[in-house]
Amino acid sequence: MLKIPGLGDVAEWLGDVSDLTELAKGSTVWLAVTGLSRAGKTVFITSLVHNLLSALHNPNRMPLLKVVGDGRLVAARLEGAKAHLLPRFPYADNIETMARTPAGWPQPTADISEIGVDIRFVPAGLVGDLLGRVSGGAATLKLRIVDYPGEWLLDLPLLTQSYAEWSRGMMQLWRRGIRAEPAREYLGFIAEHPPLETASEAVAKQAHDLYRALLVTARDKHGLSYLQPGRFVRPGALADAPYLWFAPLDVPDGVDRLAPGSLGALMEERYEVYKKEVVGAFYQNYFRNYGRQIVLVDVLGALLAGREAFEDTRLATEAILESFRYGRHNILSKLIGSARVEKVLFAATKADHIPDPQRDNMSELMRNMAALPVLEARGNDADIEVTTLASVASTVDGTQEIDGKRVDVVIGRPVRAGKQAKFFGGEVPIRPPRPDGWGAPFLEIPTFEPPLIDPAPVDGIPHINLDLALEYLIGDRLR
């Protein structure tokens, strides 16, 4: 049998667990949850917190989170009141909404928020035995969960672009495909106001208002998501300061700096302040602390919205991915210093809308959509994985006979329908469909009511792969 001479020696021998007392007192891990609006962040965090708080009573909800599956969880509690910098995530309100009759989905939120769960657990193996001597057996992990809009990550490319470059890129984009129609009014306005006309406060503000309205229409009416600047769509707590009143203009090729006193120069000045005060500040003050992140993507919603919207979500997802590639971006390293996002999970959400055999296809589609496979080879970047999940499983799997063939379906209760129905969704493709492959809609799926939920943290909430996702993201900190 292994003879343990003294705590100090063994701790040294263990290497990474150098301070057992520290482990007993508790360490902190930040988990940021992001994704474009409606991707499922609020529902994800609500279900995650509720299932953690319920895990002691009903370990069967989270078996693949090893600390629960191994029976090492001692307690999970919401942290007490503190002098927090960020607004609280409204967990209690959300659970109440989902648990009432008829059940509803939580209110959309538009700003960054935070919630903490203290997890007491018995570490696995030898460390657990040792810790038993210093703290009665349990360690504490303070899990701090942050909800922030993925739209903010779409601004990273701005940091390496001049105003003239950015404007040219935006103009190209807005003149193409389904963007051209909603952009017509804005393009008309700036045709009347070239970058070299004399700067005017009123014209700049008018351009800004029109451009902002365009971004919102593109999002809400056309299902588009690759929209810059991200804060124009999701301003959060940002006050409507004058430096925000800019917009892209039709800057001719070859022009880089705009003549002093011109409308273009005024826009350029504001654009530069935005980059520094808003974009850079977010990475420096917040992003750099979030060592673990999950990016939620409504892949299914994008498929349903058709070819151009899907392509747009693909572009946005690739742009978001750039925030996790330090190897490529000096600017990112400059902003976040030695801080690193260690693990990132890209998750296709709302998997309860499709039957089980389709869910692997969904993960493959997610992987192929954002060119994720090539990343595994890049040692310098965050560790990246892909999955498919449902934070709140609102359906059950079933089968149905269609034209003499058994097909997989999901069974759920569409909102306001009052009764259950079966849905056959069709096939989820594993690759982004080719342009000529978009003839008929792929899937026809309603919005389902959440299942019956107990608001007390006892039974938890049915989900798909939530425990697996959490094990990937923070499992190493709960051993």
Ligand X SMILES: Nc1nc2c(ncn2[C@@H]2O[C@H](COP(=O)(O)OP(=O)(O)O)[C@@H](O)[C@H]2O)c(=O)[nH]1
Q: Which does 150 bind (CB under 5 to 8 A by kind): Mg ion, ligand X, none?
A: none
HSE, side-chain direction, 13 A CA sphere, residue 424: 10
Helical (H) or strand (E) element with 421: strand 421-423
Nearer to ligand X, 324 or 448 (CB): 448
Q: Which single residue brings its beta carbon nearest to ligand X?
A: 105
| DSSP result, 185-244 | HHHHHHHHS-TTSBP-HHHHHHHHHHHHHHHHHHHHTT-----SSHHHH--TT----GGG
Comparison of 224 and 296: residue with beta carbon closer to Mg ion? 296
23-31, 103-111, 161-169, 370-378 -> range binding Mg ion (CB under 5 A): 103-111
Classified as helix, coil or strand, 104 is: coil
The answer to whether 131 touches 138, Cβ cutoff 8 Å, is yes
Q: How many CB atoms lie within 10 A of CB 465?
A: 20
- By CB under 6 A, is residue 35 in contact with ligand X? yes
User: Which alpha helices (H) appear in 82-162, and where do they start and end?
Assistant: 91-99, 125-135
CB of 40 to Mg ion, least distance (A): 8
The answer to whether 318 and 368 are in contact (CB under 8 A) is: no
Q: Which of 120, 270, 292, 350 binds ligand X (CB under 6 A)?
A: 350
- Closest CB to ligand X among 42 and 51? 42
Strands (E), 80-184: 113-121, 139-147
Whether residue 417 contacts residue 375, with contact meaning beta carbons closer than 8 Å, is answered with no
By the rule CB under 6 A, 230 interacts with ligand X: no
Binding mask 4-33 for ligand X (x = CB under 6 A): ------------------------------
102 Cβ contact partners less than 8 Å away, ≥ 6 residues apart: 449
| Closest CB 142 distance from Mg ion, rounded Å | 23
Size of the site for Mg ion (CB under 5 A): 3
Q: Does 226 bind ligand X (CB under 6 A)?
A: no
Shortest Å, Cβ 259 to ligand X: 42
Instruction: Name the minimum Å distance from CB 181 to ligand X.
Output: 26
**The tokens 């299942």 sit on which residue?**
451
Indicate which single residue of 11, 28, 38, 178 sits in contact with ligand X (rule: CB under 6 A).
38
Stretch that binds Mg ion, among 106-114, 276-284, 349-357, 468-476 (CB under 5 A): 106-114
Strands (E), 218-364: 292-297, 343-348
- Shortest gap between Cβ of 41 and Mg ion (angstroms)? 5
Question: x-or-dash pattern for Mg ion, window 35-74, by CB under 5 A?
Answer: ------xx--------------------------------
Q: How far apart are the first and last CA of the chain?
A: 23
The yes or no reply on residue 108 touching ligand X (CB under 6 A) is yes
List 402's β-bridge partners, or say none.
405
Positions in 367-396 near ligand X (CB under 6 A): 390-392, 394
Give yes or no for a contact between 351 and 420, defined as CB atoms under 8 angstroms apart: no
Question: Does 320 contact ligand X by CB under 6 A?
Answer: no
What tokens appear for 213 in the block?
């309205």
Closest CA to 23 of 5, 11, 37: 11
Task: Pick one of Mg ion, ligand X, none as the site partner of residue 37 (Cβ within 5 to 8 A by kind).
Answer: ligand X
Q: Does 391 bind Mg ion (CB under 5 A)?
A: no
448 contacts ligand X (rule: CB under 6 A) = yes
Show contacts with ligand X in window 42-81 (CB under 6 A). 42-43
- Rg for the chain, CA atoms, rounded: 25
Q: How far is the CB of 339 from ligand X (least distance, A)?
A: 25
Shortest separation between residue 320's beta carbon and ligand X, angstroms: 13
416 binds ligand X, rule: CB under 6 A: no
CA proximity to 346, closest of 18, 19, 35: 35
The binder of 117, among Mg ion, ligand X, none, by C-beta within 5 to 8 A per type, is none
Binding-site ranges for Mg ion (CB under 5 A): 41-42, 109
Binding-site ranges for ligand X (CB under 6 A): 35, 37-43, 105-106, 108, 349-350, 352, 390-392, 394, 447-448
